Every structure is written in C-alpha cells, then in structure tokens.
C-alpha cells in the first residue's frame, strides 16, 4: 500500500529504494533510520543490519531489544567482556535454588516455568521471587516484595554478607576476577533498608542464597527496564562471580530473553552500537574486518541512535526517512503519544507488518506485507544459545513476502545487487556463519563457522544446535574455569551505588506506575487479540490498586480511573487488589489505539533511560490517579466489529463476535438511535427495556429471534453476567435483555484455563460439588491446567479462596 493505494511489489519497492536514495543523497546517510525487532529471524536481521551499516553507511539501526534486553547486553559486556549467557536450561533441573528477579516466569515463560515447578515438586528445589508485586510466579516461593527499583541495594546486601560469612570462592576470584575488594567495600556501604524488606525476610534470603551452592538467578524486565538496569544486572553478576557459581551445572546468572529471537538479534548486531557476531562498531579492527568481508563501500565508525533517541531524531527532523520492521513503536515506546506524533510528522515512513491495522502502520506512507512466523523460514536463538530452525508450515497469504526478501529487494534497487543476491535464507545463514569465523579469529565467542559450508539441504534439516560451533568449541557452558573476554581474560566485578528510579513520587504524581505483561496477550495484541479464547482471560485494560489507596481516593472496585502524568493519560478499569502495595499501581502494556484508544499505558511513561544501556525505565514512572466521572457506563456485544466514539471504550473478540466496555461524559438523547449507529444496524428490530429512574437501558437488536447486538447502559458500571451473555449474539435469545444466565446454561465466568476454555465459575462449582482439594484434582475433573500449565497458580488461588473466602476479591 502506497499512500493508501494498493500497488504491486515492483512499484512499492522502487518507491522505497528511490525515496531512501534521494534522502541519503540530499541529507547524508544519518538522515535515515531502521527500527527493527527481536522477533525477526536471524536472516532477516542480518540483511537489515548489512544494508544499513555496510551499504547505506549509517549506524542508525536499532531494535525494540533496546526496550527489552539492552541492560543485560551492557551488564554482560561490563562483567564478562562479551554478551554471553553462561548457562543452559539443564541448570534449572540441577539447581537447588532458583531465584526469579523481576521475572513473572509463570506468565511470560510458561514452559520454562513448568520446568522449574517440576524440579520444585520432584526435588524440592526452592524458589525465591523478587518482585514489588505479587504475581503468579510467587506460588510456592519465598516472595520478597522489595521497593521498586531497589534491586542493587538487595544484591549489594547479598555481596556484603557473602564476604562477611567467608563465602567468597577465593580460588576462583583470585584467578579469574577483577574488582572484588572495591565491589565489596561499596556493597558494605550500601543501605539495605532501601529495599523496604524486613530484617527477617532479608536474612532468610541471604541464608538461602549463601547456603545453597547450586543457585540459578533468573532475571528479566524488572531488572532490565530501569534507569539503573545495567547496574542491577551487574549487582546480580557480582554475587555469582564472587562465589564462582557460574558455568557449573546447576549454577549461574540467567537472563531470560523475551522475544523469540531477542538473542539472535544480539548476535547479529541489531543494536546501533554493534556489528554482526558480537563485533563492536567502534573497534577499528572489528570495523575494518566486517567492512572487508562485506566489501562494503562505507562503514560508520560510531554507534548510531538508540531507540528513544532515534524517535527524538524523527521528532526534531534529523531523521527524514524511517523504516519500521516488525514492531509497533507508536504503542510500546515511552512517551508514546509523542512518538506517535513524531512518526505521523516524519516525511517518509515505511512499515513492514503482517497487518495494516496497527497504531504505527496507520501512520505509514508505505505498508509492506510481511510473511508471518509460520509462513517464513530461517533461524532463531533462544536464551540458552540454542539456534533452531523455524520452518514455514503455511503458504504466505496474498502478496506477503519474507522480511529478508523485502530488505534485499530494496538493497538491490538501491544499486547493491551483488551484495544482496541471496536466493534463500540458507545462503544468508552461510554468509553469516562465515563472518562469525572472522569474529572467532578476532577473539570473539560467537563463532559458528563450523556451519559456514552448510548447504541448503543440511540447513533445511538442521537440528537445534548450541553455539559456539567452531573448530575449537562446540556448545556447552561458559566461564566455569574463567576464560572471560576482557583483555587479560578476567571478569570484572563492579562497585555499585544504589540509585532509585529517576522519578520520585510527588504531590502532583504520587503513584509509582509499574507495567508489564498478561498471561494471554502478546505485546500490542496484533495476533493474540484475534483469538476469542485468549481474549476471554482478561478482556479489558485495568489498573491494579491497593485497597487502602482505593478507599483513600473514595473509589470503588470496577470504577474507571484516569491516570495522568506530564506526558499523557490513560483511562482504566479499577482492580482492587493487595497484589500491589499502597502507592504502587500496575497496568498491563497491551492495549492500543485499535481496541482501547484511551488505555495506551506508554502514553504515561516518562522517556527516561539507563545511562549505560539506553533502555527505558518502563516500570517506574510516577502518575496521578483520580476517578473518571462518566455520566454513563455501558456493555455492548455484537456479531460484527464496531468502532465506538465514546470517551472510553475497550473491545475484545468473543466466540460470537465482539464485546465492548463503554463509558461517556455526555449522555446521548436517544439510546435507540445511539445503539443503531454504534452497531451500524439502522433497520434491525429493536427491543428496549428501560428504568429511567436509575438511568438503565437494555437494548437488543434482532433479526427475528436472532440476537444481532445488544447494549446495556446505566449511570453506574453495569453488573451483568458478561461471560454468559457473550455467547448469545448470532443465536435465538429473545430473553437476552434480562442480562442473566438461565438455569440450563450456567455462567462459566471469566476464562481461567485458556487451553480448555474453562471459566472461573465452572472451577468453583466443581470444587464445591466434587469436594476437590488440589490443583491436580481440578485437572482430573475438568482438564483445566493440564496442558500448558500457565493457569495452575490461578487455579491454586481459586482453590484457596473457596476454602477460605478471600478478603478482597479482585475480579
């Protein structure tokens, strides 16, 4: 699509190549930029990186991994001299203690989490969860509910105690580590009360960690997405280096990556400060080696713009042509309204996506149809350095093409045919593997040169294989016997002084805003929201708030709340829960302009970044909260999609069509007219029940007895059996306006187990009727929790509530 018109590939590709060429000719290579993603396949990534760095001659290519893994990359490089995860997943089976730091593994890495839980059940592996919020990953774990951002203080306390108790592995440290005594001295000066933990809790953790040789510390976004993210990473690495608990079976620091190929992107040089194969752009020897290998006409000698700065460059006009591939930055970057406006104002924007229905694609001049993961072929690397083939299992629909192909076609049309002449991902992979051999010779660990001669057939059949794969080393763990990648071969421990989040709560913005993921949605929902089953788990955006704050602000569970910061605002459904402590809020990151335009949480988030990694602090902005005083609230459902124009709306798929929560500041004059317009059904037969005194209206639109759509409104949030009602559109339901379930079809309640579509009420009824007392028994009775297992902790909490009714019910 060029300017909203469908054109063929030739026209579109020529258009992109010409426009980029013109801008570069007029304003130089640094006037253009690519923003890519950790969900691209390695081959896609390699081509994008080669085109920008080697041929356009700018380092202005950055990736959403900047928002995701860059603090880990920076922390690894500071400590190890390379961005390398030392351990492998087998370590989780062998560990006796697994510590989750800022990781909701149960929801975000459910398969890996089941492995940890299996070890817990089988071998009694202890679990500690370090998170300011109670999450599904706290089940069966010691939960340290530390103050947001205080991880460095916690791990400094651990390091100081390791030293005090003589638990330093002096042999290891003497031989392989620098900076030990300085780090310990600083750790001893560090104030552990910053964590807000009680002395007993802290002591329990220190005893466990120090007393258990086989410990794996898993960390994720609660660590990375912080203005002190890199320090948090190094604070964790310090403790493992000091005790020599690294690279030996069952031990080690373990960064778990989020996106399927976040790791591959790090290897292939997706970040603006890297070249391919762990080579550094600013190292003249590395730079020259890559330039020579690529036969590149020009190579940038300095790092390019990092994500947040890249979009500042778009805003202030330094970037005049932007190509966004496989990401939705108008939703997921901090200060998202501003990013959205900057993209809209950029003279030339190309978006490659699998759908044109995204907040970002809507702003593009050119939308290129990309083949999705199941339709394309290549490789990805996971958190444990395992390279896996991904094989197309479906034909690409319509004109969709793999990302590598689109990029290579543009490169050829910009005049670099010979350098981008591959016919298949196998050829790209072989070139990449050959380049890694040069990296290996330059002393880098990312060396897969043993695969450089791989032919198409072997590539097609390639089994998962762990790097490195060189003449001298195949797979395995790193660093058990030192061998670090700093000159001299030693690791570096760092002296770290704790810093809190950049923003401090104030009278104007008293709340700390934590954000993150839900079990059944993926990022900006362009894929997961298409599934009615996944959408049934938590169909509406919300904010978690502690009951004390709810009371203090005079709010009620189920109200709408407006959060605001100096950057923007969001309207969200209030969830009262003591999962968060007073003063903290939690909002999921997923909703967008496509399904809940006033609930884009990154509109609130300050564009503050870690000074070392450039990663944004996505989990610790400050905001104000107050009631969104709507004049009316509504619930709507229909067999077809509809786009409301109300002040608040949030839409989700159902089995029968769509459901939508609504609210407005001004009340329409005529609800029947409103409903007809809302659903686009000017001629349908209408049933209308009203209670004018309470401002309640129930309106059904029918085709004969068949319910097409229904709207329920009231002056207060409307109470209905929603999960039952959403099954009615498209069916004979003349009694739908009652808003209640009928005896023969009980209300299943919101979905808990998505695999088997089992609702909360169904689980509760089974617990009561069959006197179930364990999650396993629930599984045997209903199958719930027996497939992916990611709902097991929710089942456990329902079980607990049934046996000892909860204080503050939160759904």
Ligand X SMILES: Nc1nc2c(c(=O)[nH]1)N[C@H]1C(S)=C(S)[C@@H](COP(=O)(O)OP(=O)(O)OC[C@H]3O[C@@H](n4cnc5c(=O)[nH]c(N)nc54)[C@H](O)[C@@H]3O)O[C@H]1N2
Q: Which does 151 bind (CB under 5 to 8 A by kind): Mo ion, ligand X, none?
A: ligand X
- Select the residue interacting with ligand X from 619, 653, 659, 697 (CB under 6 A): 619
- Select the residue interacting with ligand X from 82, 104, 287, 382 (CB under 6 A): 104
- Which residue of the chain is nearest ligand X when measured via CB? 258
Q: What is the dihedral of CA 64, 521, 258, 90, to 10 degrees?
A: -170
231 binds ligand X (CB under 6 A): no
- In the complex, the smallest distance separating the C-beta of residue 560 from ligand X, rounded to whole angstroms, is 20
367 binds Mo ion (CB under 5 A): no
With CA atoms as reference, report the closest residue to 493 among 225, 314, 290, 233.
Answer: 233
- Name 223's Cβ contacts closer than 8 Å, sequence gap at least 6: 71, 72, 101, 102, 103, 151, 229, 232, 233, 236
Q: Which two tokens stand for residue 593?
A: 């302009």
Residues 60-89 as x/- pattern, contact with Mo ion by CB under 5 A = --------x---------------------
Q: Which does 270 bind (CB under 5 to 8 A by kind): ligand X, Mo ion, none?
A: none
- Select the residue interacting with ligand X from 117, 210, 438, 589 (CB under 6 A): 589
Q: How many CB atoms neighbour CB 652 within 10 A?
A: 23
- Name 228's Cβ contacts closer than 8 Å, sequence gap at least 6: 149, 152, 498, 499, 610
- In the complex, the smallest distance separating the C-beta of residue 227 from ligand X, rounded to whole angstroms, is 10
Task: State the SS3 of 742-754.
Answer: ECCECCCCCEEEC
Indicate the residue among 581 and 802 with the shorter CB distance to ligand X: 581
Indicate the residue among 322 and 439 with the shorter CB distance to ligand X: 322
Indicate the residue among 68 and 370 with the shorter CB distance to Mo ion: 68
132 binds ligand X (CB under 6 A): yes
The string of DSSP codes covering 423-448 is: SSHHHHHHHHHHHHHHHHHTT-S---
d(CA 150, CA 226): 10
Stretch of 126-134, 171-179, 744-752, 795-803 lying at the interface with ligand X (CB under 6 A): 126-134
Say whether 711 sits in a helix, a strand or coil: strand
Instruction: Please give the size of the binding site for ligand X, defined by CB under 6 A.
Output: 58
599 binds ligand X (CB under 6 A): no
Burial of 391 (0-12, 13-18, 19+ CB in 10 A): exposed
Residues 187-226 as x/- pattern, contact with ligand X by CB under 6 A = ---------------------------------xxx--xx
End-to-end Cα, the chain, rounded Å: 43
d(CA 740, CA 468): 61
Q: Which two tokens stand for residue 371?
A: 């083949």
d(CA 343, CA 365): 10
Percentage helix, strand, coil for the chain under 3-state DSSP, each rounded to 5? 35, 20, 45
23 binds Mo ion (CB under 5 A): no
- Name 469's Cβ contacts closer than 8 Å, sequence gap at least 6: 447, 448, 449, 450, 451, 475
d(CA 266, CA 283): 17
Residues 45-74 as x/- pattern, contact with ligand X by CB under 6 A = -------------------x--xx------
With CA atoms as reference, report the closest residue to 597 among 680, 541, 539, 641.
Answer: 541
Indicate the residue among 261 and 352 with the shorter CB distance to Mo ion: 261
- Select the residue interacting with ligand X from 192, 419, 524, 638 (CB under 6 A): 524
With CA atoms as reference, report the closest residue to 229 among 620, 623, 606, 510.
Answer: 620
102 binds ligand X (CB under 6 A): yes
Indicate the residue among 258 and 378 with the shorter CB distance to Mo ion: 258
Q: Are 381 and 42 in contact (CB under 8 A)?
A: yes
Contacting ligand X within 336-375 (CB under 6 A): 352-355, 358, 370, 372-373
- In the complex, the smallest distance separating the C-beta of residue 69 from Mo ion, rounded to whole angstroms, is 7
419 binds ligand X (CB under 6 A): no
d(CA 358, CA 328): 7
- Select the residue interacting with ligand X from 618, 639, 651, 793 (CB under 6 A): 618
Q: Which two tokens stand for residue 483?
A: 């061998």
138 binds ligand X (CB under 6 A): no
- Select the residue interacting with ligand X from 306, 519, 567, 792 (CB under 6 A): 519
Burial of 683 (0-12, 13-18, 19+ CB in 10 A): exposed
d(CA 526, CA 794): 25
Indicate the residue among 44 and 661 with the shorter CB distance to ligand X: 44
Residues 248-287 as x/- pattern, contact with Mo ion by CB under 5 A = ----------x-----------------------------
- Select the residue interacting with ligand X from 58, 125, 217, 328 (CB under 6 A): 328
Q: Which does 307 bind (CB under 5 to 8 A by kind): Mo ion, ligand X, none?
A: none
d(CA 302, CA 693): 69
794 binds ligand X (CB under 6 A): no
d(CA 439, CA 444): 5
Q: E strands within 648-763?
A: 648-653, 658-664, 685-691, 696-703, 706-714, 751-753, 758-759
d(CA 339, CA 311): 6
699 binds ligand X (CB under 6 A): no
Indicate the residue among 428 and 733 with the shorter CB distance to ligand X: 428
131 binds ligand X (CB under 6 A): yes
102 binds Mo ion (CB under 5 A): no
- Select the residue interacting with ligand X from 71, 183, 259, 598 (CB under 6 A): 259
- Select the residue interacting with ligand X from 58, 70, 82, 103 (CB under 6 A): 103
Q: Which does 101 bind (CB under 5 to 8 A by kind): Mo ion, ligand X, none?
A: ligand X
523 binds ligand X (CB under 6 A): yes
Q: Are 446 and 433 in contact (CB under 8 A)?
A: no
37 binds ligand X (CB under 6 A): yes
Instruction: Please give the size of the binding site for Mo ion, defined by CB under 5 A.
Output: 2
Q: Which residues bind Mo ion (CB under 5 A)?
A: 68, 258
Q: Which residues bind ligand X (CB under 6 A)?
A: 37, 39, 64, 67-68, 101-104, 107-108, 130-133, 135, 148-149, 151, 220-222, 225-226, 258-259, 325-329, 331-332, 352-355, 358, 370, 372-373, 403, 514-517, 519, 521-524, 526, 589, 601-602, 605, 618-619
């Amino acid at each position: 699509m060029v300017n909203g018109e469908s054109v063929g590939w030739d026209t579109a590709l020529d258009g992109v190549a010409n426009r980029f060429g013109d801008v570069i000719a007029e304003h130089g290579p640094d006037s253009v930029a690519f923003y890519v993603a950790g969900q691209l396949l390695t081959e896609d990534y390699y081509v994008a990186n080669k085109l920008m760095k080697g041929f356009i001659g700018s380092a202005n290519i950055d990736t959403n991994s900047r928002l995701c893994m860059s603090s880990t990359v920076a922390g690894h490089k500071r400590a190890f001299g390379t961005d390398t995860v030392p351990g492998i997943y087998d370590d989780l089976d062998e560990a006796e203690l697994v510590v989750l730091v800022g990781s909701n593994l149960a929801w975000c890495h459910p398969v890996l989490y089941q492995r940890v839980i299996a070890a817990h059940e089988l071998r009694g592996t202890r679990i500690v969860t370090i998170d300011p919020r109670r999450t599904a990953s706290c089940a069966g774990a010691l939960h340290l509910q530390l103050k947001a951002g205080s991880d460095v203080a916690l791990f400094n306390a651990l390091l100081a105690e390791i030293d005090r108790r003589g638990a330093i592995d002096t042999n290891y440290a003497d031989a392989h580590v620098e900076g030990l005594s300085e780090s310990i001295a600083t750790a001893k000066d560090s104030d552990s009360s910053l964590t807000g933990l009680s002395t007993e809790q802290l002591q329990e953790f220190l005893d466990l960690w120090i007393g258990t040789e086989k410990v794996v510390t898993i960390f994720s976004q609660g660590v990375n997405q912080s203005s002190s993210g890199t320090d948090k990473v190094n604070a964790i690495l310090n403790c493992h280096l000091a005790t020599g608990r690294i690279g030996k079976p069952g031990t080690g620091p373990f960064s778990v990556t989020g996106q399927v190929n976040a790791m591959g992107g790090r290897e292939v040089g997706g970040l603006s400060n890297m070249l391919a194969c762990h080579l550094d752009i600013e190292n003249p020897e590395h730079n020259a080696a890559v330039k020579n290998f690529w036969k590149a006409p020009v190579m940038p000698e300095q790092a390019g713009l990092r994500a947040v700065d890249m979009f500042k460059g778009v805003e202030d006009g330094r970037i005049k042509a932007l190509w966004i591939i496989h990401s939705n930055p108008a939703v997921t970057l901090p200060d998202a309204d501003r990013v959205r406006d900057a993209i809209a104002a950029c003279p030339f924007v190309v978006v490659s996506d699998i759908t044109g229905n995204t907040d970002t694609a809507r702003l593009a001049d050119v939308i290129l149809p990309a083949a999705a993961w199941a339709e394309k072929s290549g490789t990805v690397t996971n958190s444990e350095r395992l390279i896996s083939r991904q094989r197309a299992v479906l034909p690409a629909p319509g004109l969709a093409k793999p990302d590598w192909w689109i990029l290579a076609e543009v490169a050829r049309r910009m005049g670099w045919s010979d350098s981008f002449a591959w016919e298949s991902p196998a050829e790209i992979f072989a070139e990449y593997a050959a380049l890694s051999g040069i990296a290996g010779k330059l002393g880098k660990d990312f060396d897969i040169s043993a695969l450089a001669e791989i032919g198409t057939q072997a590539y097609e059949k390639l089994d998962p294989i762990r790097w490195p794969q060189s003449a001298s080393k195949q797979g395995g763990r790193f660093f058990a016997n030192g061998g670090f990648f700093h000159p001299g071969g030693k690791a570096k421990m760092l002296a770290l002084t704790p810093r809190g989040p950049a923003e401090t709560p104030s009278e104007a913005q008293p709340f700390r805003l934590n954000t993150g993921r839900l079990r059944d949605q993926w990022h900006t929902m362009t894929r997961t929201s298409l599934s009615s089953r996944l959408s049934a788990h938590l169909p509406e955006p919300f904010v978690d708030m502690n009951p004390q704050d709810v009371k203090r602000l005079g709010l009620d569970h189920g109200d709408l709340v407006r959060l605001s910061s100096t950057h923007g605002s969001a309207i969200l459904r209030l969830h009262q829960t003591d999962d968060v402590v007073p003063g903290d809020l939690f909002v999921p990151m997923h909703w967008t302009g496509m399904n809940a335009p006033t609930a884009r949480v990154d509109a609130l988030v300050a564009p503050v970044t870690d000074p070392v990694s450039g990663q944004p602090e996505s989990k610790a902005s400050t905001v104000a909260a107050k009631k969104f005083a709507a004049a009316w609230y509504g619930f709507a459902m229909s067999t077809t999609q509809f786009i409301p124009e109300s002040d608040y709306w949030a839409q989700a798929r159902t089995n029968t069509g769509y459901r939508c929560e609504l609210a407005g500041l001004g009340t329409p004059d005529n609800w029947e007219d409103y409903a007809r317009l809302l659903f686009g059904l000017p001629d349908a037969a209408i049933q209308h029940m009203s209670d004018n005194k309470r401002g309640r209206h129930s309106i059904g639109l029918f085709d004969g007895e068949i319910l097409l759509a229904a709207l329920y409104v009231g002056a207060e949030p409307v109470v209905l059996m929603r999960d039952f009602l959403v099954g009615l559109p498209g069916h004979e339901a003349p009694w739908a306006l009652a808003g209640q379930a009928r005896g023969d079809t009980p209300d299943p309640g919101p979905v808990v187990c998505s695999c088997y579509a089992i609702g909360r009420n169904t689980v509760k009824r089974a617990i009561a009727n069959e006197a179930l007392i364990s999650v396993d028994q629930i599984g045997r009775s209903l199958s719930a929790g027996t497939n992916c297992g990611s709902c097991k902790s929710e089942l456990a909490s329902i079980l607990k509530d049934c046996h000892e009714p909860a204080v503050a019910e939160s759904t």
